[in-house]
Structure 1
Amino acid sequence: MIIVDDDAAVLESIEAMLATAGFEVTAFTSATRFLNMLEIMTFACVVTDVRMPEMSGLDLAERLAHAGRGDWPLIVISGHGDIPMAVSAMKAGASNFLQKPFAPGELVQAIVDAFEARKVVNVQSHAYAQACERLQTLSPREREVLSHLVNGASSKVTALVLGISPRTVDVFRSNILRKMQAPNIAALATWVGRGLAA
């Protein structure tokens, strides 16, 4: 856990709250100090105040993205929050926006939710990457057949369009499912997406 807040009292309070909840916490009094240490940091959730003198929490979010850390969960906090600020925080990549003062459980839950959301994204990204790799193993003709099948064409229609027999389409379908490690074409359409197979 990383906390960035220019208010020392708030920083201490949040640090104690999260340590009590079992998180290892590293605290910074400015976004600049945090960014200076970024290269030696490992994956973490960042809790940052939105209004700080040197660099705002929104600017920090942008800098994290440019530094290749845009996948780090980010929670933005503010004592002067409003709807436009919350929207800006979410657009900047924040997982959540909390207005001070907040209950300890509220911040802890926001952190847990941010990590859970990141796990889902990571799993989906991994599955997508695997599907892309498998897609590369298909021959050009298998890709043509796949494109028609995931767009809902039957074997007969695919055969007519491609000028091959329906039996040949079925052989291609079987090879595609084996190579893509998919149970059926419907699952494959979900995995690779209609645009990817085209």
Structure 2
Amino acid sequence: MKRPELHIVDDDPDIRDGLAWLFDSRGYAPATWAGGEPFLQAARALVGAWGASVVLMDLRMAPLSGLATFEQLKALGCPWPVLFLTGHGDVSMAVAAVKNGAWDFLEKPFQDNELVDRVAQALAAASAMQVGDAEAQRLRQALTSLSPREREVLDELIRGHYNKNIADHLGITARTVEFHRANIFEKMGVSSAIELAHKLGRLQPMGSA
């Protein structure tokens, strides 16, 4: 079953169903929630395996408000962008929510196309973040798989040193350096020392030995 790309959280069934129809007609896979608590229960079950989704949430809900739901979602460490739907009287509250980490807000009544565009932007950001996180995790796992000698060679490579210099510095033959270099490139999934340096530069901290 495809994981929902969009979670619609609204205690008004007419608005909830209307939003679900809109996004379903645009090719999305929405899930609907009648309030903050059932949505949070579903979110808690996904901790650590979030995937890429967007949350479209009404600011005014009962018994758990949109802001309170957002705070609990953040406390779970959920990375999903949250887009609030707000009435005219709640704009200042929505602005405060954005300053506190919400993705954006849209004032009712809104244009369907504008809403769909905002969700598309948020989903693209969520997907890019997920890809980046997965790549960083893969690189960290690859780093831990290197032998102590491979780590020494890696540290020399990313400083731009040539095989002969590395061999002299580490007291090994250039042929041995080439062997370690090939292993490092294979484990790290790169084809050059420049690519290796770029990828490791994105890891904070790099964790060099």
Which range, TM-score by smaller chain?
0.7 to 0.9
Partner of 1:54 in structure 2? 63
The aligned amino acid for 2:171 is I
Match 1:81 to one of 65, 87, 91: 91
- The aligned counterpart of 2:158 is 150
For residue 46 of structure 1, report the CA deviation from its aligned partner: 1.9
Greater fraction of residues in helix? 1
Which residue of 182, 185, 188 maps to 1:177? Answer: 185
SS at match of 1:3: strand
Q: Hey, what's the Cα distance between the residues in 2 that align with 1:40 and 1:136?
A: 29
Quick check: 1:58–1:89 contact (8 Å CA) kept in 2? no
The one-letter code sitting in structure 1 at the alignment partner of 2:58 is D
**For residue 109 of structure 1, what is the aligned residue in structure 2?**
117
CA 1:20/1:137 → structure 2, altered by over 3 Å: closer, same or farther? Answer: closer
How far, CA to CA, are the matches of 1:171 and 1:36 in structure 2? Answer: 51
Query: Structure 2 vs 1, CA of residues 12 and 165 (structure 1 numbering), >3 Å: closer, same or farther?
Result: closer
Unpaired runs of at least 5, structure 2: 1-5
Tell me the SS of whatever aligns to 2:106.
Answer: strand
Name the CA distance, whole Å, in 1 between partners of 2:184 and 2:30: 48
Q: Name the residue aligned to 1:32.
A: 37
Task: Decide whether the 8 Å contact of 1:131 with 1:180 is kept in 2.
Answer: yes
Structure 1 residue 19, shift from structure 2 partner: 4.0
Deviation, structure 1 residue 145 = 2.2
Query: Percent identity at matched positions?
Result: 29
Equivalent pairs counted in the alignment come to 194
Cα distance in 2 for residues equivalent to 1:177 and 1:145: 11
Name the residue aligned to 1:3. 8
**Structure 1 residue 153: Cα displacement:** 4.2
Contact 1:138 1:176 in 2 (8 A): yes
Residue of structure 1 in register with 2:23 after alignment: 18
Gaps of 5+ in 1: none
C-alpha RMSD over aligned residues = 3.4
Aligned to 2:3: none
Classify 1:137/1:8 alpha carbon distance in 2 versus 1 (closer, same or farther; 3 Å): closer
